[in-house]
Amino acid sequence: MAPAFSSILIATELLFLFALAQGQASPRQPIQPASTVVPNNSPAGAPLFKGETIQLTDRVVESLANAPSTAEYADLFAFDDGSGLNSTRRKGFCKTYPGDQNWPSDRAWHVFDSLLDGALIPTVPLAAPCYNSKWGPMDPQKCGHITARFNSPYLHEDDPTSIMFPIYQGRTCMPGNTGNCTLGGFPEYAVNATNVAQIQLALNFARNNDLRLVVKNTGHCYLGKSSGGGALSIWMHNNKQIDFLPEYEGDSYSGPAMKLGSGVTVVEVYAAAEKYGVSALGGISPSVGYAGGYFAGGGHTPLAGLYGMAADHVMAIRLVTADGRFITASEKSHPDLYWALRGGGGGTYGVVTSIVIRVLPKVPVTTAAFSFQSSKNVSKEAFWLAVRKYYELHIPFTDAGTYSFYFIFNQNETKDGELNFDMRSFFAPNHTIESFSALTKPWFDTLKDLGIPWTTKPNQTYFESYYPAYMSSWGHRLFPVGTVKTMAGNRLLPRGHFQDEAKFNATFEVLKQHVANGFHLGGYHQAPRNRANADNAVSTAWRETVSFLIFGSRPVPDNATVVDMKAATDELTDRILKPWRDVAPPNEGGGSYLNEAAVMEPEWQHSFYGLQYERMLGVKRKWDHRGVFYGTTAVGSEEWEVRDGDRGVQTQDGRLCRVSR
Q: Can you give the binding site for ligand NAG, defined by CB under 6 A?
A: 86, 121, 160, 179-180, 192, 194, 238, 306, 369, 375-377, 412, 416-417, 430, 456, 459, 461, 472, 501-502, 505, 517-518, 557, 559, 561
Query: CA 270, 258, 203: angle at the middle one, nearest 5?
Result: 105
User: Given candidates 181, 190, 221, 322, which one binds ligand FAD under the rule CB under 6 A?
Assistant: 221
Q: How far is the CB of 32 from ligand FAD (least distance, A)?
A: 26
The three-state secondary structure class of 244 is strand
Partner in contact with 283, chosen from ligand FAD, ligand NAG, none, beta carbon below 5 to 8 Å by kind:
ligand FAD
Alpha-carbon distance of 570 to 155, in angstroms, equals 31
Q: How far is the CB of 215 from ligand FAD (least distance, A)?
A: 4
Q: Considering beta carbons, is residue 126 or 260 the nearer one to ligand NAG?
A: 126
The three-state secondary structure class of 178 is coil
Partner in contact with 47, chosen from ligand NAG, ligand FAD, none, beta carbon below 5 to 8 Å by kind:
none
Alpha-carbon distance of 536 to 341, in angstroms, equals 8
Partner in contact with 191, chosen from ligand FAD, ligand NAG, none, beta carbon below 5 to 8 Å by kind:
none
Partner in contact with 559, chosen from ligand FAD, ligand NAG, none, beta carbon below 5 to 8 Å by kind:
ligand NAG
Residues 620-659 binding ligand FAD (CB under 6 A) are 631
Which range touches ligand FAD (CB under 6 A), out of 28-36, 47-55, 219-227, 450-458?
219-227
Cα dist from 313 to 280, 394, 433, 467, whole Å? 9, 25, 29, 18
Which range touches ligand FAD (CB under 6 A), out of 278-286, 328-336, 515-523, 570-578?
278-286
Residues 347-376 binding ligand FAD (CB under 6 A) are 347, 351-352
The greatest distance separating any two alpha carbons of the chain, rounded to the nearest whole angstrom, comes to: 98
Helix or strand holding residue 652 (H, E)? none
**Is the separation of the CB atoms in 33 and 70 below 8 Å?**
no
User: Given candidates 128, 130, 284, 382, which one binds ligand FAD under the rule CB under 6 A?
Assistant: 284
Alpha-carbon distance of 606 to 511, in angstroms, equals 23
Alpha-carbon distance of 586 to 16, in angstroms, equals 64
Q: Where are the alpha helices (DSSP H) in 22-123?
A: 50-53, 58-66, 85-89, 106-115
User: Given candidates 346, 522, 579, 591, which one binds ligand FAD under the rule CB under 6 A?
Assistant: 346
Alpha-carbon distance of 369 to 404, in angstroms, equals 10
Q: How far is the CB of 617 from ligand FAD (least distance, A)?
A: 17
Give the orientation angle of helix 501-516 with respect to helix 380-392, to 10 degrees: 140
Q: Considering beta carbons, is residue 47 or 179 the nearer one to ligand NAG?
A: 179
User: Given candidates 171, 220, 259, 313, which one binds ligand FAD under the rule CB under 6 A?
Assistant: 220
597 binds ligand FAD (CB under 6 A): no
- Where b means 16+ CB within 10 Å and e means fewer, 400-416 reads bbbbbbbebbbebeeee
292 binds ligand FAD (CB under 6 A): yes
Q: How far is the CB of 525 from ligand NAG (least distance, A)?
A: 17
Which range touches ligand FAD (CB under 6 A), out of 5-13, 210-218, 462-470, 531-539?
210-218
Q: How far is the CB of 301 from ligand FAD (least distance, A)?
A: 7
The three-state secondary structure class of 534 is coil
**Is the separation of the CB atoms in 294 and 283 below 8 Å?**
yes
259 binds ligand FAD (CB under 6 A): no
User: Given candidates 236, 267, 487, 565, which one binds ligand FAD under the rule CB under 6 A?
Assistant: 236
Q: Considering beta carbons, is residue 73 or 397 the nearer one to ligand FAD?
A: 397
User: Given candidates 197, 201, 288, 527, which one binds ligand FAD under the rule CB under 6 A?
Assistant: 288
Q: How far is the CB of 292 from ligand NAG (least distance, A)?
A: 16
Burial label for 128, CB within 10 Å (0-12, 13-18, 19+), is buried
200 binds ligand FAD (CB under 6 A): no
User: Given candidates 156, 212, 300, 491, which one binds ligand FAD under the rule CB under 6 A?
Assistant: 300
Which range touches ligand FAD (CB under 6 A), out of 167-175, 215-223, 513-521, 576-584?
215-223
Nearest to 404 by CA among 378, 356, 379, 440: 440
219 binds ligand FAD (CB under 6 A): yes
Alpha-carbon distance of 337 to 619, in angstroms, equals 7
Q: Count the site residues for ligand FAD by CB under 6 A.
A: 32
User: Given candidates 175, 297, 401, 654, which one binds ligand FAD under the rule CB under 6 A?
Assistant: 297
Q: How far is the CB of 230 from ligand FAD (least distance, A)?
A: 16
- If you ran DSSP here, which 8-state letter would residue 130 be given? G
Cα dist from 495 to 254, 299, 425, 618, whole Å? 33, 19, 21, 30
**Upstream peptide bond of 119 is cis (omega within 30 degrees of 0):** no
Q: Considering beta carbons, is residue 304 or 306 the nearer one to ligand NAG?
A: 306
The three-state secondary structure class of 497 is helix
Contacts 24+ apart (CB under 8 A), 432-439: 432/364, 432/366, 432/462, 433/366, 433/460, 433/462, 435/366, 435/400, 436/366, 436/368, 436/460, 439/396, 439/397, 439/400, 439/402
547 binds ligand FAD (CB under 6 A): no
Nearest to 208 by CA among 63, 61, 78: 78
- Residue whose Cβ sits closest to ligand FAD: 293
> What's the distance, CA 133 to chain centroid?
30
Q: How far is the CB of 540 from ligand NAG (least distance, A)?
A: 24
Q: How far is the CB of 254 from ligand FAD (least distance, A)?
A: 26
Residues of the shown chain interacting with ligand FAD in the complex, contacts defined by CB under 6 A: 215-222, 225-226, 236, 262, 283-285, 288-289, 292-294, 296-297, 299-300, 346-347, 351-352, 479, 595-596, 631
